[in-house]
């Protein structure tokens, strides 16, 4: 039975250098979502979506509504909502309905609301792994619950519970501030905690699956809250059960088993060199995170500066025979060992096929990293998707390999 230890404010930067102090420090923070133009959910007054209509409320009215919203704990629904700010590709799209929820207990009421009951649903976090190619004709639901808590400590480990609306990197920082190890290689991955299990986020030799203990969900099929243990999540390389049954699960929180003793993974290319440049000897979890942040900032385009969703394609995983026959033809082909087989670099394949830095209109391939498709300004999702399909076709014809897409195409 997990013990609950009390609450302190999140984001204060307060350090607890004594790991033993963790047991008395539980953090919880509720964020008040600023939802402009939204309306309290009222079962007696059905609302109609107005997808395609262009008129909007004046900004001042929206601010009034913001204040009303932030005082209200009722779930709210917003019809015909723009999604531009809710996807890091920054492509235009609208949702027939948008709900931002601060409390998962609000989910049944929202899902049962007559105008949207039979419509398609999409759970969204920060929109850093989706590409909208059209308007979404149903409900977009964004969890905004933002608590982080230590549940138990013992045997050199700490069980941390983080709610779906917490920013992933905020959680990484929170754990490092408390000398907890396990998330350092996953520093600076954009997005929310709730989305992390969906593709079993991973970077620099570590995946969420290494530390994930359990996932709290709302099961839309059974209409109930449930706990899934790690095995039930069926996590693999950038995959999970949640991708296979997207309409069924709304992830509301996750539990992570983190370590008080550092067990660092620093053998990924570039990490040791960066640690040496930081004079981190011996390295700490915080130093590893810092090294990875520096590497990522150098390599990846910042979505705040240029729209993108990180790696657009997964690295193909090949059998030994397949890899060797390909390497005979292309001796420079980079490879990483992985539990599932030999992972070859999709970035290298795309670069060899001549796409790095390519641009057509405002849709393009990053000049910094061939795996990252970008929106230079006014590209639509359909234009980015059309470019992605041309890249897939060209890699298929040059190497005989199918590139699997990483973000969800909507
Ligand atoms: C610059 C950049 C770098 C990146 N680097 C990495 C990297 O190194 N490693 C990596 O793994 N990923 C990386 N990504 C991809 C992305 O950050 C992750 O996939 C992240 O977990 C997505 O979080 P999100 O909140 O933005 O999810 P969204 O994009 O909002 O959603 C992604 C998917 O998860 C589903 N989903 C979201 N929240 C929930 C929920 N609460 N319950 C159920 N389903 C949900 C959505 O329906 C969708 O299918 C990168 C992206 C960018 C832009």
Question: The CATH number of the domain where 313 resides is what?
Answer: 3.90.78.10
Q: Is 249 in the pocket of ligand 1 (CB under 6 A)?
A: yes
- Do 333 and 226 have their domain in common? no
Indicate the top mutation candidate among 189, 215, 252 to test ligand 1's pocket, ranked by most ligand atoms within 8 A of CB: 189
Q: What is the mean pLDDT of residues 70-81?
A: 70
Question: How far does the centroid of ligand 1 lie from the alpha carbon of residue 354, in Å?
Answer: 28
Determine what percent of the chain is predicted with pLDDT higher than 90: 72
What CATH number corresponds to the domain at position 183? 3.30.465.10
Q: Domain count of the chain?
A: 3
Q: What is the mean pLDDT of residues 384-409?
A: 97
pLDDT recorded at residue 153: 87
Cα–Cα distance, 310 to 202 (Å, whole number): 12
pLDDT band at 105 (very low <50, low <70, confident <90, very high): very high
- Do 126 and 163 have their domain in common? no
- Do 134 and 172 have their domain in common? no
pLDDT band at 15 (very low <50, low <70, confident <90, very high): very low
Catalytic residues: 238, 311, 406
Strand 212-219 with 249-259, pairing: antiparallel
CB-CB contact of 265 with 186 (8 Å): no
Show which of 258, 275, 292 is a domain's final residue.
275
Q: Is 195 in the pocket of ligand 1 (CB under 6 A)?
A: yes
Sheet holding 39-40, edge to edge: 39-40, 76-82, 94-101, 136-143, 121-123
Cα–Cα distance, 93 to 132 (Å, whole number): 6
pLDDT recorded at residue 76: 78
Q: Which of 146, 95, 144 is nearest to 122 (CA)?
A: 95
Residue 2 counted as domain residue? no
Cα–Cα distance, 369 to 356 (Å, whole number): 7
Residue 131 counted as domain residue? yes
| Lowest-confidence region among 332-336, 354-358, 372-376 | 332-336
Beta bridge partners of 136: 95
pLDDT band at 75 (very low <50, low <70, confident <90, very high): low
For residue range 143-177, list pLDDT tens digits in order.
999 999 999 988 899 999 999 999 999 999 999 99
Beta bridge partners of 157: 154, 259
pLDDT recorded at residue 12: 30
pLDDT recorded at residue 74: 61
pLDDT recorded at residue 50: 32
Question: How far does the centroid of ligand 1 lie from the alpha carbon of residue 68, in Å?
Answer: 30
Question: How far does the centroid of ligand 1 lie from the alpha carbon of residue 174, in Å?
Answer: 19
Q: What is the mean pLDDT of residues 132-139?
A: 98
pLDDT recorded at residue 10: 29
Higher pLDDT, 337 or 374: 374
- Do 170 and 99 have their domain in common? no
- Do 81 and 175 have their domain in common? no
- Do 258 and 329 have their domain in common? no
For residue range 63-73, list pLDDT tens digits in order.
333 333 333 45
Structure tokens at 123: 């759970």
- Do 130 and 242 have their domain in common? no
- Do 166 and 269 have their domain in common? yes
Residue 22 counted as domain residue? no
What CATH number corresponds to the domain at position 94? 3.30.43.10
Atom of ligand 1 nearest to the CA of 203: 8
Q: Is 202 in the pocket of ligand 1 (CB under 6 A)?
A: yes
Burial category of 53 from C-beta neighbours within 10 Å (exposed 0-12, middle 13-18, buried 19 and up): exposed
Atom of ligand 1 nearest to the CA of 190: 17
CB-CB contact of 19 with 178 (8 Å): yes
CB-CB contact of 138 with 96 (8 Å): yes
**Which residues, 6+ apart, have CB-to-CB distance to 102 below 8 Å?**
30, 31, 32, 33, 73, 144, 145, 165
Q: Is 198 in the pocket of ligand 1 (CB under 6 A)?
A: yes
pLDDT recorded at residue 109: 92
Q: What is the mean pLDDT of residues 113-132?
A: 95
Beta bridge partners of 319: none
Q: Is 242 in the pocket of ligand 1 (CB under 6 A)?
A: yes
Task: Give the domain extent around 175.
Answer: 148-275
Q: What is the 3-state secondary structure (H, E, C) of the chain?
A: CCCCCCCECCCCCCCCCCHHHHHHCCECCCCCCCCCCCEECCCCCCCCCCCCCCCCCCHHHHHHHHHHHHHCCCCEEEEEEECHHHCCCCCCCEEEEEEEECCHHHHHHHHCCCCCCCCCEEECCCCCCEECCCCEEEEEEEECCCCEEEEEEECCEEEEEEECCCEHHHHHHHHHHCCCECCHHHCCCCCECCCCCCCCCEECCEEHHHCEEEEEEEECCCCEEEEEECHHHCCECCECHHHHCCCCEEEEEEEEEEECCCCCCCCCCCHHHHHHHCCCCCCCHHHHHHHHHHHHHHHCCCCCCCEEEEECECCCEECHHHHHHHHHHCCCCCEEEECCEEEECHHHHHHHCCCCCCEECCEEECCCCCCEEEECCCCCHHHHHHHHHHHHHHHHHHHCCCCCECCEEC
| Lowest-confidence region among 24-28, 111-115, 162-166, 196-200 | 24-28
Question: How far does the centroid of ligand 1 lie from the alpha carbon of residue 329, in Å?
Answer: 35
- Do 379 and 401 have their domain in common? yes
pTM (predicted TM-score)? 0.84
Residue 21 counted as domain residue? no
């Amino acid at each position: 039975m997990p013990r609950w230890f009390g609450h302190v404010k999140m984001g204060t930067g307060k350090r607890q250098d004594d790991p033993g102090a963790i047991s008395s420090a539980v953090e919880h923070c509720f964020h008040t979502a600023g939802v402009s133009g939204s309306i309290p959910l009222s079962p007696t007054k059905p609302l109609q979506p107005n997808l395609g209509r262009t008129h909007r409320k004046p900004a001042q009215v929206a601010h009034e509504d913001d204040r009303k919203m932030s005082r209200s704990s009722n779930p709210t629904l917003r019809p015909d909502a723009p999604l531009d700010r809710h996807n890091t590709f920054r492509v235009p799209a609208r949702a027939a309905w948008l709900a931002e929820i601060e409390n998962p207990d609000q989910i049944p009421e929202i899902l049962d609301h007559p105008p949207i009951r039979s419509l398609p649903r999409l759970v969204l976090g920060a929109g850093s792994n989706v590409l909208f190619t059209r308007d979404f004709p149903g409900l977009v639901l964004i969890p905004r619950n933002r608590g982080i808590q230590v549940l138990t400590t013992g045997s050199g480990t700490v069980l941390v519970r983080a709610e779906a609306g917490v920013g992933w990197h905020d959680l990484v920082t929170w754990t490092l501030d408390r000398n907890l190890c396990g998330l350092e290689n996953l520093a600076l991955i954009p997005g929310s905690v709730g989305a992390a299990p969906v593709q079993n986020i991973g970077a620099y030799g570590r995946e969420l699956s290494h530390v994930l203990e359990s996932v709290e969900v709302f099961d839309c099929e059974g209409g109930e809250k449930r706990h899934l243990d790690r095995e039930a999540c069926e996590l693999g390389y950038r995959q999970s059960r949640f991708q296979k049954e997207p309409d069924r699960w709304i992830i509301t929180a996750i539990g992570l088993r983190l370590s008080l003793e550092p067990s660092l993974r620093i053998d990924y290319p570039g990490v040791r060199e960066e640690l040496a440049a930081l004079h981190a000897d011996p390295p700490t979890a915080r130093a590893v995170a810092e090294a990875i942040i520096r590497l990522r900032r150098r390599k990846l385009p910042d979505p705040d500066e240029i729209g993108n969703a990180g790696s657009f394609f997964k690295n193909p995983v090949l059998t030994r025979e397949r890899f060797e026959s390909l390497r005979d033809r292309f001796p420079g082909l980079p490879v990483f060992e992985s539990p599932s087989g030999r992972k070859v670099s999709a970035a290298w394949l795309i670069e060899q096929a001549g796409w790095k830095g390519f641009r057509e209109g405002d849709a393009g391939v990053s000049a910094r990293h061939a795996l990252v498709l970008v929106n230079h300004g006014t590209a639509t999702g359909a234009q980015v998707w059309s470019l992605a399909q041309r890249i897939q076709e060209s890699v298929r014809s040059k190497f005989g390999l199918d590139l699997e897409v990483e973000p969800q195409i909507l």
